[in-house]
Amino acid sequence: MQSIAESNHEDFMKTNQQAQDATLLVKFELRAKLDVEATEKAGRPIYNDHEYIDIRAPGSPDNVNRPATLRDKERFPRHYSAFKNRTDGDELMDGTPLSEWPLVNRSQVEEFAFANIKTVEQLAATSDVNGQQFMNFPSMKQKAADWLEVANKGIKAADLQKELASRDEDIAELKEQVAALIETSKPRKKKAAKKE
């Protein structure tokens, strides 16, 4: 009698895995991921580029899409090498992506990206000479600078608000301590002895 769940030990060998991996559709890519700590400090959205992997089996609607691990890079060296060759010239991005900035439209994002301007910070820092190729560049550059200034003021205001809240807590605590000291330093009234 044959078992229903038979397995061949060769199915788990590395060479068979490589043969099966060869049929997969594998793509490495860079994705902007929100940096929560830097965003909180800057008072505006700050994104960093991270490597992701997308794995699809032909004919299957399911896929794996997650941050790439060292194991992924070792398992799919040909795909990772092709990805690195495409992205080696690209600088990793830190800052607020133009694609996340509400003051530009999609076509402007693409146009600026073609000239290697990918963040609001880069747009604000672009020289007028380099920016003259873009329509309405001076106003766009000024909007970027103004937006960054407002964001920086916002974070300063938030810091001031935190500082004031902390000071208020300290004052309330000191008031409680003073009230407790006053209460303990009051002379106690002695009960008058009964006269007989």
Calculate what percentage of the chain has a pLDDT beyond 70: 77
What's the residue count for the chain? 196
> How do beta strands 25-34 and 63-67 pair?
unpaired
Domain boundaries, the chain: 15-95, 98-184
Global confidence as pTM: 0.46
Average pLDDT, the chain: 79
Predicted pLDDT of residue 109: 86
67-90 pLDDT, tens digit per residue, is 999 999 999 998 998 888 876 545
Half-sphere exposure of 179 (CA within 13 A, CB side): 6
Higher pLDDT, 5 or 93: 93
Reduce the DSSP state of residue 22 to 3 states and report it: coil
The beta strands (E) that lie in the chain are given as: 25-34, 47-56, 63-67, 94-95
Rounded Cα distance between 134 and 144, Å, is: 14
Rounded Cα distance between 53 and 72, Å, is: 8
Task: Give how far Cα 93 sits from Cα of 31, 44, 97, 189, Å.
Answer: 10, 15, 8, 74
